[in-house]
Amino acid sequence: MVKATLKKSHSRAVFPTPGHDHDRCASDAIAHAEATCLAHKEKLTPIRRRVLEALLASHAPLGAYELIDRLAEQGARPAPITIYRALDFLREQGLVHRIESRNAFIACAHNHESGDPVVFLICEKCGAVGEAASAAVAETIKSASRAAGFTPKTPVIEISGVCVNCKTA
């Protein structure tokens, strides 16, 4: 059993609070995406940007077909392959994470150390997803993996529960 304290190690709140400035949050994330693509000599094409913006519009994870429906509201309905290719690109750049238990995706504006686990806190009531980081969890997983002669590719931990907003509501 892994015992560690989860703590916030980045500027974004684990869960958006009632006073959360969502417009600033989204514009900061787009600026981060542009800088990341520029640093990797990649292009944030219009469809990739639209997919990222749709994910940023929600703090809950969205499935590919939910993304298609949201993008269709703004114009032509994109083909599923177009969405999946955009999601693959955004995941490769570290701008989007896949929430396996929900078969859905969520935007990310954080820099993660290569191989460090991503810890998702998933609210069972409202569906919001928070992201937390813990050096202790990362070290425990790295140590256990090394001891087993295993190299994790995408270490992700998903924890279901009730967020602070739903708990106080």
Residue 10 lies in a domain: no
Q: Angle CA(44)–CA(36)–CA(25) in degrees, nearest 5?
A: 85
Identify the CATH number of the domain in which residue 37 sits.
1.10.10.10
- Which one, of 109, 124, 145, lies nearest residue 31 by Cα? 109
Residue pair 2/140 in contact (Cβ under 8 Å)? The answer is yes
- Tell me which residue range forms the domain holding 122: 22-168
Residue 13 lies in a domain: no
Residue 8 lies in a domain: no
Summarised one tens digit per residue, pLDDT across range 99-121 is 999 999 999 877 766 567 788 89
Indicate the average pLDDT of the chain: 83
Summarised one tens digit per residue, pLDDT across range 28-39 is 899 999 999 999
Can you give the pLDDT at residue 151? 86
Residue 14 lies in a domain: no
Residue pair 95/132 in contact (Cβ under 8 Å)? The answer is no
Lowest mean pLDDT among 7-11, 18-22, 121-125, 145-149: 7-11
Residue 145 lies in a domain: yes
What's the average model confidence in pLDDT over 90-100?
A: 93
Q: How would you class 53 by CB atoms within 10 Å of its CB: exposed for 0-12, middle for 13-18, buried for 19 or more? A: middle
Could you tell me the two tokens for 12?
A: 């974004």
* Residue bearing the bigger pLDDT, 165 or 80: 80
* Residue bearing the bigger pLDDT, 2 or 78: 78
Can you give the pLDDT at residue 154? 73
Q: What is the pTM of this model?
A: 0.79
- Binning pLDDT at 50, 70 and 90, where does residue 75 land? confident
Rounded alpha-carbon distances, angstroms, from residue 110 to 28, 71, 75, 121, 150: 11, 24, 30, 15, 26
Report the domain count for the chain. Answer: 1
Can you give the pLDDT at residue 11? 31
Residue 15 lies in a domain: no
Residue 6 lies in a domain: no
Residue 5 lies in a domain: no
